[in-house]
Amino acid sequence: MSSKIISILYGAGAVVVLVGAYMKLDGIKYSSIFFLVGIALGSVANVFHTSLLKKKIKTLEADKSQLEQRLNN
At 42-66, the pLDDT tens digits run 888 888 888 888 988 999 988 888 8
Q: How many domains does the chain have?
A: 1
Whether pTM exceeds 0.75? no
**Which among 46, 35, 34 has a CA at the least distance from the CA of 9?**
46
- Tell me what pLDDT residue 48 has: 87
Torsion of CA 49, 10, 8, 51, to 10 degrees: 10
What residues contact residue 35 under an 8 Å CB cut-off, 6+ apart? 17, 20, 21, 24
Range of the domain at 32: 3-72
- Residues 23-37, mean pLDDT to the nearest whole number: 89
